[in-house]
Amino acid sequence: MFSKSRALTSKSLLLINILILINAVAMASGTSAESQIANPPVQSVKEILNQQRKLYSQSLQLIARGDWRALRQQRQQLVDYPLYPYLLYAELLGNLRYSKRADITAYLESYPETVKAQFLQGKWLDYLARRGYWQSYIEVYGKYNYIPNTSRQCNFHLAQYRLGNKPAALQAGLKLWSQGKSQPKTCDKLFGILISGGHISEKLAWQRFNEAILKHRYQLARYLKRFFVSPSYRLRYEIYYQVNRDPNSLSRHSNFVEHSENELNILEHGLKRLARKDPNKALKHWSRYQQTHEFSHRARASLVSEIVKGLYLAGHVSAADSYFVDHLKLLNQTLQGSLTEWRIREALRELDWPAVRKWLARLPQENQQQSIWRYWTIRSMEGDPSSTLNPHIETLTLRLARERDFYGFLASEKLALEYSLNHNPVPIDESRIEQLAAIPGLQRARELLFHRDDLNANREWYSATQNFTHPDWLAAAVLASQWQWHNKAIASLGRVQYWDDVEIRFPLAYVDLINKAAKNTGIPNYMLFALVRQESAFNASATSSAGAMGLIQVMPATAKATARKYKILYRNKKQLHNPAINIPIGSKYYMSMLERFDNNRILATAAYNAGPHRVDQWLKKSSGKLPFDIWMTLIPFKETRGYVSSVLMYSIIYSRKLGLEPPMLLQHEREALL
């Protein structure tokens, strides 16, 4: 079907590599490839690449029509193009049948490092399993460094069983069955053999039940009841299941005398649930079980944390604080200070500045150095009459103003200083950039990006960068930035926590679309840049776990309602991956949030992330008594707290890149009580 030698080496591929490298070096130095090398070969290589890109686009149309004969003829001109394996893959997948096994094997051996080889091997395994070619299945399964999913693992062990290797199949099948989650339906045949053969012991079922109940997978937990036939296991099942339904059943201490790991887990689970309902009862039972059972540090800290919160929320503040202080070392060490941070927020809610200062002092030293808690140390000193005039306040504020973050910017505003952007560009290692640009996987990723096949481009990038070192990631960030692949450039710097290259981390992309949206909505363009940067890092193909899509991450239902309200042409959710559709809809929706919340960007931004109804609830709870900074700190969702502060901080970075000098917060936003 294809020549292995031609697939692996070629003169034209070398020329394409040269062009990519020339462009990479040229862009790094700020000049064009043409100005560096003006002789005819460079231009001819560029023409070759452009022609191959055009032919590849035409080939995609042939694939869509299923015109495999024409594709075979045309792809002969693309043997040296980085995406040639994609054309071979398309035909193999489109005509998947047993007679093609030699071609499939040749592909898997010739392109083992490609993403498509992994997909083809998976699809081929599924084909073999559906038709019962078990010997071929086993032969293909263990080759080419393929990592199978659970469905294909089950089929492999089923193949072992069918071919006579029953002990290995049963042992592996039991391991898959025992996991505390429902497995794919593909596994039903293998699991059916285990069940009908009586291979599921009560001990194994009990292990799976415990894991299921602790992960709140109650349907699976109920299913497992059928495997408990002896009186002892049936009784234990009822006891544990009852603890989950009614944690008050923990009062029957005689039910818990095994001291096993499973029992410790269920006791922890039940006590936490009880602490939220009746913290006093939980504390009573916890005191008893501590004497009879040996809990881990993690379990103890987790339980004490729930009891402290339960007591506090039930109005027993003194008791909660006393119990907290008694266990402060354990809680800070095991929970990394998170409960102490929660207690500071509760003190802020009450505007209790002495309590804020007291709990700030109880934070672990590492937490105390974080910008947010340095800020609240300053604010607590300002808010407490006993320390309002302390001259150390200005010193602390000046130090905080050196930080490039939301609280550093607030400190700069207090001192009327310009914000500290602290730009420190990534050191450019041209030789390493050249090496990365020559990696076949990254070449495929670059070409896929050119053809707007973002999904496969992302897959190739991920595969090619698996073993990158710190210097590799820095070079990858520069290379991706040169390719205008901004989300990968940003992510690459994030991998090595290099935060100071403001140019790469905050690109000015989609400028025309964002400026047009700013004009149509009255929203400053730097705010829209900040939203896009926070929402997707300029990844137009992004889709969140909740289903939000595109550059400004719009939910399909929100997009439909917004498009109808503002008469924006919109047909289906796939269009949300089109920046020309996404940006107008997202910006109009943000405009509607600004209108709803009196042009307050703090509230509008929180509403964009968490929903306007939640913001209404939070405002109702605070009753217009809290300064903006406290209200932001008390947002119940950690994600939304970070989201609002990041968008506002990003807006300053983008305003400065655009030559503008607005303050981070407008006067009415700073002065409003929320």
Ramachandran sector of residue 611 (left: φ over 0; alpha: ψ -120 to 50; beta: rest): left
Q: What is the largest CA-CA distance in the chain?
A: 89
Q: Return the pLDDT at 72.
A: 94
**How would you class 93 by CB atoms within 10 Å of its CB: exposed for 0-12, middle for 13-18, buried for 19 or more?**
middle
* C-beta neighbour count of 40 within 10 angstroms: 8
Work out the average pLDDT over 649-673: 96
When pLDDT is cut at 50, 70 and 90, the band that residue 301 belongs to is very high
High-pLDDT (> 90) share of the chain, %:
84
- Residue 485's SS3 state is coil
Q: Whose structure tokens read 């363009």?
A: 525
Q: Which amino acid is at 641?
A: R
Q: What is the pLDDT of residue 32?
A: 41
Sign of CA dihedral 20, 23, 29, 34: positive
- pLDDT tens-digit profile of 224-247? 999 999 998 999 899 888 888 889
Q: Which has more pLDDT, 15 or 282?
A: 282
Under 8 Å between Cβ of 303 and 284: no
Give whole-number Cα distances, 112 to 103, 146, 432, 581, in Å. 14, 9, 24, 38
Helix (H, G, I), strand (E, B) or coil at 143: coil
Helices (H), strands (E): how many in the chain? 41, 0
Q: HSE of 369 in the Cβ direction (CA atoms, 13 Å)? A: 3
Q: List pLDDT tens digits, range 558-617.
A: 999 999 999 999 999 999 999 999 999 999 999 999 999 999 999 999 999 999 999 999
Region 533-543: what's the mean pLDDT? 95
Residue 76, burial from CB neighbour count under 10 angstroms (0-12, 13-18, 19+): exposed
Which residues, in sequence order, are CB contacts of 3 under 8 Å at separation 6+?
79
Q: What is the mean pLDDT of residues 282-309?
A: 94
**pLDDT score, position 39:** 52
Tens digit of each residue's pLDDT (9 = 90 or more) over 358-412: 999 999 999 999 999 999 999 999 987 777 778 889 999 999 999 999 999 999 9
Torsion angle (degrees, nearest 10) of CA 527, 416, 641, 367 = 140
Give the total residue count for the chain. Answer: 674
pTM of the complete model beyond 0.75: yes
Cβ neighbours around 595 below 10 Å, total: 10
DSSP symbol at 282: H
User: Which is nearest to 499 in space by CA: 532, 467, 474, 534?
Assistant: 474
**What is the pLDDT at residue 35?**
41
Q: Which has the closest alpha carbon to 103: 85, 130, 80? A: 85
Q: Which amino acid is at 316?
A: H
Give one DSSP letter per residue of 559-584, joined into a string. HHHHHHHHT-----GGGGGSHHHHHH
Q: Is the pLDDT of residue 68 over 90?
A: yes
Looking at residue 22, its pLDDT comes to 44
Residue 595 designated active-site: no
What number is the average pLDDT over the span 197-219?
A: 91
**Per-residue pLDDT averaged across 644-668, rounded?**
97
What pLDDT, in 10s, does the model give residues 162-195? 999 999 999 999 999 999 899 999 999 999 999 9
Output the pLDDT for position 42: 58
Q: What is the mean pLDDT of the chain?
A: 91
Confidence of residue 17 (pLDDT cuts 50, 70, 90): low
Confidence of residue 8 (pLDDT cuts 50, 70, 90): very low
Is the pLDDT confidence value at 36 over 90?
A: no
Residue of 446, 567, 355, 537 lying closest to 17 (CA atoms): 446
Q: 439 falls in which pLDDT band (50, 70, 90)?
A: very high
- pLDDT in the model for residue 45: 81
Range in 245-259, 606-620, 652-666 the model is least confident about = 245-259
Backbone conformation region of residue 440, classed left if phi is above 0, alpha if psi is from -120 to 50, else beta: alpha
Instruction: Render pLDDT for 132-170 as a digit per residue (tens, 0 to 9).
Output: 999 999 999 988 778 899 999 999 999 999 999 999 999
Please give the pLDDT value at position 41: 57
Hey, what are 20's tokens? 């990519």
Instruction: Output DSSP code: residue 445.
Output: H
Distances (CA, A) of 203 to 175, 230, 236: 13, 11, 12
Classified as helix, coil or strand, 544 is coil
What residue type is assigned to position 380 of the chain? S
What pLDDT score does 259 carry? 86
For residue 668, the model assigns a pLDDT of 95
- pLDDT of 14 over the 50 cut: no
Query: What's the confidence (pLDDT) of residue 496?
Result: 96
The band of 113, judged by pLDDT with boundaries at 50, 70 and 90, is confident
Reported as type and span, the H/E element at residue 395 is helix 392-400
Identify the band that residue 4 occupies on the pLDDT scale cut at 50, 70 and 90.
very low
Neighbours of 434 (CB within 10 A): 18
Query: 484: which DSSP letter?
Result: T
Q: State what percent of residues in the chain have pLDDT above 70.
A: 94
Q: Which of 535, 639, 661, 671 is catalytic?
A: 535
Residue 502 has a CB neighbour count (10 Å cut-off) of 17
Which residues on adjacent β-strands are paired with residue 554?
549
Q: List the beta bridge partners of residue 543.
A: 549
Q: What's residue 200's pLDDT?
A: 95
